[in-house]
Structure 1
Amino acid sequence: MRYATYLEKTDHEQFSLGSSPRGLANVHMSCWVVVTDAAGNTYNVMRAIQADDLCKSMHFGVYRGRDVLDESSAFFIPFTEVPVVVPFATSSSPESVVYSGQGFDLELFADRTVWNEANGRVQIEATQLGDVCSLYVPSQHPHPHDFVFRSYFGKAAGTIDGEAVEGLYQMDSVFSTPALNMREAGWTDHVHQYWLNWLVEYEDGTYEGGHAFRGMPGTEFTAGHHVVDGRSTARHDMALEFDRTSRGTISAVRLAVGDDVAFEFEQRGSFDWPIHTFGEVASTTRDKKVRRSWNYMETFPHNWGEVERYNAAHHDLFGRYPSLRGMLEGAVVRDERIEWDAPRSPEAKS
C-alpha cells in the first residue's frame, strides 16, 4: 500500500471542521487519555467529535481498568450520567477551537488541550509533546477513498473525581471524502488493524513515546510517530508483534522502532474487550531505568467492520447502540477474526 508520513507544526485552526488538507473533509476527531492515580488505578476516557452522525459527538465511556485481560473493565462513570451520543456546538477564538455539548467541553489550543468530561468529574489538561505527525493514504485498491490522518501526542494531567491523575494523551483528526463518516470511508475495513501508543518516563528525567500502526494483511502499513524529548520523527518502519491469551486477547506487545530502539509492553487488562488493552513497559533496549510508563493497544479483528455496521443498523432501528459487552458474550478472537463459540445474550440480540 502506498502512503506517506510527514511532520507539521501545530496550528489551532487545524482543529476546525473547516480544515481541509488535500481538499478532504474532517470525518472524525477523537481524543483520549490513559492515566493513573497515586494508588495505581488506570483510567481511560475517550470522546469523538463526529461519529456515525457528523452532527453528533460520541462518548466512549470512562473506564477504571481491572487487571483482567479476557473481560471488559467496568465503567467508572455510567452512560446514564453521560449519554453516548449528543449534539455538539463549536466556536473559535484567536487562540483555540472549542467543542461542547451535554456533559463535556473540549478546548483545543496549538500546544495544549483543556478537557472537562462527565460534567466536570474528569478534568484534564494535556501538553503537546513534539510536532503533529501526519499520514496521507491515497485511494488505491481495495479502498476507494483518500485519507489524511493527523495525530497530536501529549502528556496529560488532571483529576478524576478529585483524585490526581497523569499519563498519555492523543488526539487524531481524520479527513476523507466529504459527507462520509469514518466507517463509510472504510478506515477499519481496508487500512487499520493494529495500533499502539505509549509514553515512557525515565529515571534521568528524559522521555519518549508516540504511536505505531500495523495495517491489514497485505498492506505493509507500518506508519508511526516517535517522540524523544520533544523531537518528533515520522516513521514508516514500526514493527509490532503480539502474544495472546486463549480467548485471543493481546497479553504482550513487542515494538521495534526501526533499528533505533525496542520495547516490550506487558498488558495488564482490557478496557473494552477485545479492542483496547492497557499496560506498561516490561523491558526496553534503552540503557536507562524506567520510572513509569503507559501504553494503550488497539486491535480490530479482520471482520470488525461487520460489528460496526451492525451497531449502526441497530442505532438506526432502535435509536440506541447495542451493548457491546452483550454482543460479544461468548466471542473469541481466532485467526484474527471475531467468532462466537456460544449463543449471544438476549440483550445482544435485541
Structure 2
Amino acid sequence: MAPAAAPAAKAGWWKGDASEPVRRNLGLTAVLATLVVIGLVSSPDQFLTSGNILTILTQASAIGVIAIGMTFVIIGGGIDLSVGALTALASVWCTTVATQDFGAGGMFFTAVAVGAVAGTVNGLLIAYGRLVPFIATLAMMVGARGLATKISDKQTQPVNVESINRLAEVKLLGIPDLVWIFAAVTAVGWVLLNRTTFGRRTVAVGGNAEAARLAGINVRRQTVYLYTLSGLCCGIAAVMVVAQANAGSAGQGDLYELDAIAAAIIGGTALTGGRGTVIGSLLGVVVFTTITNLFILNNLPTEVQNIVKGAIIVGAVLVQQFRPRDLLRH
C-alpha cells in the first residue's frame, strides 16, 4: 500500500497551494521563452546576441535589487511607494563633492546608510505611528524627492571616483559587475526568506498579523525591519544607477516603485501579504525588462509599452484573485 500512496501524494502536492510558486515560476519561464521567440522573429539579427542579453540583464539589475526589497515588504503585508525617491535621494547624497572625497567606500556607505535610515523612518511611522503604509510611504516619496532636489540644487552631480564610474563597465567572466551585484542580492534575499527565522516571521506577519502577535512575534519590530531592508536595497540600487549614469540627480529612480511592485506582483507576491517568492520577482523583473528591450529594438512608442505593462499587471492580479480552484468552487 505504501508505494501506491506516494504517487497520489505527489499528484496532490502539484495541485495544492504548496506547489503554486513552482507553477507560477514555470509559467513566467514560459512567458520569457515566448518573448525570446518574438524577439527572434521581430529582430533576428539583434535580439539574441550576447551584447543584447547582457544589456537586458544590466538594465534589470538596479530595479531588480529594489524589487527584492519590495518583495519582502509586500509579503509582510505592506507596500512601499517611496523606493524611487529614496534611490534618487541616496544617489544625490552619495555624489556630493564632500562624500566623493572619501572614495568609493564612502559613497557606497553613504548611499546604503541614507536608504536604510529613510526606510527605518517609514517603518517607524507605520509600526508605531500607526500610519497606513500607502500614506506613510507616499509622504516619504514626496519628501525624499524634494530633499534630493534641494541637496542637488536641481543640478546633475558628476562622479569623479573612477572605481564607481567603471562599475558598470568592469566584467567578471564576461558578465558586468552590476549583474553580479543583482545576483548576490537575489541569493541573499532567497536565503533570508526561505532559510531563516526572519523569513518565516515575514510570512507570518503578512498572512495574519494578529495570529503572529499571539504566536510571540513582535509585529511592530518586524515591520520596521522590513522597511529598513527595502531602504537598504534602494541604497545599493542608487550606487548602481550612479555607476551607469556617472552622475547623481534628483530625477533618478522615476517610477521605479511601479516597476518594482509590478515585478513582485507578476512574480506571484500577493498584495494581501503572506505569500511570494524571490525567484518569482527575479523572473518578473527580467520579463518586464525584456519587453522594454523588444519595444526599443522594434522602435515602438513608449506609450504602447506602458499599455502592455499595465495589461500584464492587471492580468497578474486577476490570476491572483481568481485562481482555477476558486472558480471551481463556485
Specify the TM-score bucket, using the shorter chain as the normaliser: under 0.3
- TM-score (norm: length of structure 1): 0.25
**Higher helix proportion (structure 1 or 2):** 2
**Higher strand proportion (structure 1 or 2):** 1
- TM-score (norm: length of structure 2): 0.27
State the structure with more CA Rg. Answer: 2
- Larger RCO of the pair (alpha carbons < 8 Å, separation 6+): 2
